[in-house]
Structure formats: C-alpha cells, structure tokens
Chains A and B, each alone.
Chain A
Amino acid sequence: MEVDAIPNGSASETAMENAAAATISPTPSKFSGLAESLKLEHQFLRVPFEHYKKTIRANHRVAEKEVSAVISSVTDAADRENMSREEAVHHFTSLVSRLQGLKRKLEEGNRTEQMQAQKCRARLDHLESADADNLAEWNSTRLKRILVDYMLRMSYFDTAVKLSESSNIQDLVDIDVFQEAKKVIDALQNKEIAPALSWCSDNKSRLKKSKSKFEFQLRLQEFIELVRADKNMQAITYARKYLAPWGATHMKELQRVMATLAFKSSTECAIYKVLFEPKQWDHLVDVFRQEFCKIYGMTLEPLLNIYLQAGLSALKTPYCYEDDCTKEDPLSQESFRKLAVPLPYSKQHHSKLVCYITKELMDTENPPQVLPNGYVYSAKALEKMAKENSGKITCPRTGFVCSYSELVKAYIS
C-alpha cells in the first residue's frame, strides 16, 4: 500500500486522523498471529486432563472403598464371639485375596494414569513445537485434529480412528474419551437407559454442580415407557421412587408427564402425544452430548463448525457471490456459499487491492495503475503486457486498447 504524504492543513480533522491511522500497519506479525492462534487450543489441553483427573479420582475411590471394607471386616471378626478356627482361616484367606485383587487394580490404575498423563504431556509438547519452520505441517495436523473432533461428535467413529491412525495423531485426539460417550449414545439409540443412568451416577457431583436435569429427563423417559407398555402400577411405583425427588425443582414437567397415566400412549392430545414420540430418544442423545461436552470442558459445537464459521465470515465479501469470483476463493464454491449465507460479511479498515490479472496484492512494490477507461491493474501485469505487445495495453475486461504511456498511477491509502 502506498504510504501517503502528510495531509495538508486544509483537510478536515477526521480526514487527518484517518490518514494518520492509515499509515500504521495493522497487520499483526506472523509470530504474534501464531501465539494468538495457539491460545485457541484450550480444549486441546483441557479434555485429556479432565480424563486423567477422572481416572485418578475413580482409582482413589476404589482404593478407599476397598481398604475401609477390609478394615471393617477385620473389626467384625474381632468383635465376633466364638469364631471357629476354620471360619477364621476362611475369613482371612478371603480378605488377603481381596487385598491382592486391590493391589492388581491399583497397579493397573496407575498404568492408566501414567498413560493419560503421557497424553496430556504430548499435547503440551505439540503446542510448544509450533514455530515458523514447521507451520505448514503443524497447520495440516491441526486441520486433521479438527476433522477427528467433528467425526467423534457426529459419532463417525470408524472415520475418526482411520484418520487418526493414518496420520499418526492418536495422542492429539480424544477418541478414548468419546468411547465412553459412544456406549451411552448407542444404548440410547437402542432405547436403553441403563448406561446413561450409570454415567449420571459416575458424574453425579459434576452434573449437580451444573444443575443438570439430564437424569430427570432419563427417568421421565423410563416412566413414559412403562405407561406405553400399560404397566400403570409399576409406573406409579417408579414415579414415587425416581421422579418425586425432582418435584421440588421440576414440578411442572413432573405433572405433565404424570398426566400421561390418564391419556395412554395412543393419545391424540398434542402436549402428551409428543412425549411418546421416538424423537424424544434423539433429544436425549442431544442432551447427553451437551452434558458430556460440558463435563470435559469442550465447546458444545464441533470445532470444525466454529472455525468454518469464523473463516467464512472473515472471507465473505459482496464480490464472492458474483460469477467472476476466483476459484481459489472457497466462497466461489456452491457448498461454501450455502454455509456462508446466514453469516455476516467481513469488515475491512484498509484497502486491499488484488490485481485482476495476476491475482497478486497491489502494494508499494507493485502499485495499481489506471487505464484511461478507469480499470485498474498491477504495474507488473501491465509492464509484462506492454513488453509482449510492443507497448500496447488491452483491458482484459472491456477490450479497451491504449498505449502504455497513457497509464497513470493511483495512490491508495
């Protein structure tokens, strides 16, 4: 871009300010750009760490539970009168083997923890490894990571595994974490609730903290299934046990679902009919996905959608939807245009001129030149054209012909 002379005194004040601002290049250096982009990788570190933490906590709970069970069993034996020798031998043999089992579990748990720690560390190392020299490769790995994330969220596990293995990025993606979700999702899609409920109890405290009502929704569905099967008495018993505790916070929904007892599953009444529809199960899958993402500190949307949205907005100009949009612009493609329709256009504070002929940026080195008909091309392109055509310039868009000497330079700030 041409850096302009100092504005003269007669200019309006805003023009002066603008002109002054225009001389400061806002383009961030490559390096600060890289640092900024790495800051987007929160989830990349967070997810394996949550997984690691979860394993540590679970292993610790097992140790605590087993040890206290053994202690109370010893206390029991000590407090019992007249335990026979045989009984005592039997009792202690089983305690000893229980402890041996615990030791094995602890070792195994420790191994898992080490492996997960290794994964966390691999991610730190990967972030640290990004620098100017390997940026192209690093960026290509990032795209693969983002695609694996998309596959996992959409439950395309085979593709996720294939992509991560063929690119050797297993440590950089969260397939293991999503395996846990897969069990629950598969079951819900088969209209089985049990794995989802056991997931809820594994994550009780976290779900409670975020005021999740996922478990309640699962219970409601189980109740609905009892009503559907005409097991009314069973449904009532079930509701007393599992739904009533949610009454304090979710009375309205509770009442609504209890009313189905009066209507049965064949009801035509819209409010109740919907409760019996199979899409309720799809809804449970969606809710589960969200809860799952929250617990692991993931964005609710696939990373791909987030990056695509930001990228499309940053690239979108009114010119993208015209026929002569260059092929190199993703927005020249129908599929990308379609995705970008509901998104805002980009905003620029500074002119950016791209030569129609060479597609190169026109700047101080390669300044814009104006033909008598007002069409602008880069100096490089016009010089070349003049050289090859003995000084004759033909405007590629209008067919207008002039001589090289008729060109004037434009100063764009």
Chain B
Amino acid sequence: MELDSIKDAFDRVTKKQKLSSSKSHEVVDQIHLELEQVLQKIQLADNPECPVNLKSVFSELKTKLKDIAPLTQLESTQKELNTALTKYPKLVEKSFNPDISKAYRNVDFDRHTVNQIIASHFYRQGMFELGDCFISEAGESESAASMRSPFQEMYQILEAMKSRNLDPALNWALNNSNKLNECGSDLLLKLHSMQFMEILQNGDRHDALKYARTYLAPLASNHLAELQKLMACLLWTGRLDCSPYSQSQLLSVTNWENVAEELIRQFCNFLGQSYESPLGVTVAAGVQGLPPLLKFMNVMAGKKQEWQSMKQLPVPVELGREFQFHSIFVCPVSKEQSTEENPPMLMLCGHVLCKQSIMKMSKNSTKSFKCPYCPTDIDATRCRQLYF
C-alpha cells in the first residue's frame, strides 16, 4: 500500500514532538538554573562580609524569568506540534475508510453463539490453553468446549508425527479405516508406507519385511504398484540415500507434510468440520465483501432504513473462488438468480437461460425464437431443465 505521504505526515509529528519535548526541558532547565543561583545567593546572605539584599535578588529574578518568558516558549513549539497532530489524522481519514461500520445492520449477535465459534476456532488451531482461558473468562458453559478433546487428539497425532512417531496416526487411521475407504482416501497406505520406510532407514531389513507382510500385504489388492516400489526399497536397506528412490516422494519432508495435511483434512471431515477454520473463512469473506458494501452505502447515504430490512444485498459482492461453495446460476437475459420455480434451462444450442426468459421470448412456448447468443432457432418445448 502507498503509505509514503502518511508516513511523512507522521514523521512530521514525531519531529515536532521531539522539538517540543526538548524545548520543555530547556525551559525548565533555565528556570532551574536561575532558581539555584538565587538559592545560593540567599544562603550567602548569612555572611556579614557581603550582605545580600533579598528584595533586590527577588526582583532581579522576577525580571529574568520575565525575559525567559517560559510559557511563551512552551507555547511556540506546542503550536507547531498541534498543527502536525491535526494534519495526520485528517490525512489518514482521507486515505482510509473512516467508518467500516456504515454497512452494519443493527442486529445483535447472540454472544454465546459468537463465543462458542471463537472457542472452537482456538481449539481447532491447536490453541488449547487460550481456548480454556477464554471459556472461563467469558463464563461460557462446558458445551462451548465441545471441540476441545477431538482437536486435542488431532494435535497429539500431529505433534507425534513432527517427531517422526507415526504410531498415533496409524492407530487413528486403523480405527477409521472403513470410513477412509468409503471416501476413497489411501491415507492408511501412505502411513504404512512411511512407517515401512522409517524402519528401512534405520537399517533393519528383517523388521521391515515383517512389517510389510503384516500391514502392507493386505492392502496390495488395490495398490499393487505402490507396494512393488516399496518392496524394491528392501534392496537398499540402510543406504536408501544412494538408491534410485533417494529423490523420490517416499523420503521427502514434503511427503510428511502432505500426509499430515491429508490427515487433518480427513480428521476434520469425520468430525463434521471443515478443513479451514470457518471463523477464518467468514472473516476473510467479510474483508473482501466489505469494500463494495461500503461503497454502496456511501452512494445510498440516507437510505439506511431500507438497508436494515433488505432480503438480499443491494450490490453484487464478488468473492474469490475459495469462497464458492454453491452453484449460482444467473440468467444472462433477466439477470436474476435461478430458483426452483424459475430453473435454468438448456437450449438445443447448448446455451442456458432461465425458464422465465425462455417463456417470455417464446411467448409462452407458442413460437420459436432465436437464441440471444447464437443464431439457432429455439423451440421452447425442447429445452431441458438443468441441475447444478
């Protein structure tokens, strides 16, 4: 972001602050010095050899202080500082969106629901202590911590994997092998292969073979190619780094990372949770969605009332493709989103319009019409409803 002018304005503030601060010091030092001198003189007044007229010392001091004019001095630098202090926020206000709550609808979010979402977020990010602290501070009930133990299990598995211990991961995958099969995941095979390679790398051919017979052989029917490759590794026991597999996926760190990622994905999946934190996704969507909404509110100023009751956003909000979870069909003719009553229809030419548009253009199926996108003649009765 282009922040140079704002940074300059801020530099001016700090420069003037330093000036003003050193000025204050200087002024106070001056007064301090004068007073100390006077104090010395008064103390000397005791000496009968050089008597001091207190009265004249005081009035001399008074004149001196008047000449120093400390308050005027203080004020002069403060004035410049004040100018800088006013300018900077004005510049910031001009360059940024000064009120992002303009597009806020006055509905109260239920506090417990929000807190529960936050607590689950902390737990799913592995921030268990923080989640606990939050729940107790917010006075939320135990149910807000419902995601704690499942995610704790997940992080224990991942922590173990980080220290190259695959046992908890294998345990979990074995317990869930049916479910993993159902959704076509070969996570179990991947974990067994990694375990096998670990044993091989430690140089124990016998153990490796035993492991392969026990755990890999039963998986052979579906994964013959992988199995062959793994078994070939036996030839290089203890010196895998000079084997043809030294550069292969099997040994790489990224393989471990990929498998960990797959494990997270499946673990969340079985919990009925998404891979990404839903709180993170929603806030990120909000960051993308807010600018067009604010722009709209600026144009629509004064219609705040209408905004509060709208059933649909007044402007299209384009989110990145990572936020597309549903098929939305917008009829290119009527610009309306399809509904059950007004579904998308495939014309013979392959173009798609919604039913109402086709009805309109065919005068309720009484005549053929030309597709708006190609010169094909369309018979409305031969259009087919689509399901996305």
Chain A residues proximal to chain B, CB less than 8 Å: 4-5, 7-8, 10-12, 14-16, 18-19, 22, 26-28, 33-43, 45-46, 49-50, 53, 56, 60, 63-64, 67-68, 70-71, 74-75, 77-78, 83, 85, 88-89, 92-93, 95-96, 99-100, 102-103, 106-107, 109-110, 113, 117, 120-121, 124, 127-128, 130, 139-140, 142-143, 146-147, 150-151, 154, 156-159, 162-163, 166, 297, 299-301, 303-315, 317-320, 325-333, 335-336, 338-339, 342-354, 356, 359, 361, 368, 370, 374-376, 397, 408-413
Contacts and interface: CB of A to CB of B under 8 A. Distances in A.
B337 A348 contact: yes
B259 interface: no
B325 A374 contact: no
Given A4-B373, A99-B31, A142-B287, A329 B325 contact: yes
A171 to B, nearest CB: 15
Contact of B28 (A63, A345, A376, A409): A63
A143 B278 CA distance: 12
A256 B99 CA distance: 36
Contacts of B268: 327
Given A56-B85, A99-B35, A315 B274 contact: no
Nearest to A18: B332
Nearest to A328: B274
Question: Main SS of chain A's interface residues?
Answer: helix
B290 to A, nearest CB: 4
Contact of A315 (B42, B275, B325, B373): B325
8 contacts: A8-B373, A34-B1, A50-B89, A162-B130, A311-B284, A319-B327, A353-B328, A413-B373
Nearest to B319: A314
Nearest to B29: A103
Contacts of B215: none
A350 to B, nearest CB: 6
Interface string B69-107: 011001000100100010011001101111111011101
Contacts of A36: 291
A107 B25 CA distance: 8
A162 B39 contact: no
Interface stretch (B59-67, B193-201, B220-228): B59-67
B351 A411 contact: yes
A382 to B, nearest CB: 14
Contacts of A305: 104, 109, 114
A329 B297 CA distance: 27
Given A26-B316, A67-B27, A88 B293 contact: no
A374 B384 contact: yes
A3 to B, nearest CB: 10
Kindly name the residue among A10, A35, A92, A93 whose own CB sees the greatest number of chain B CB atoms within 10 A.
A92
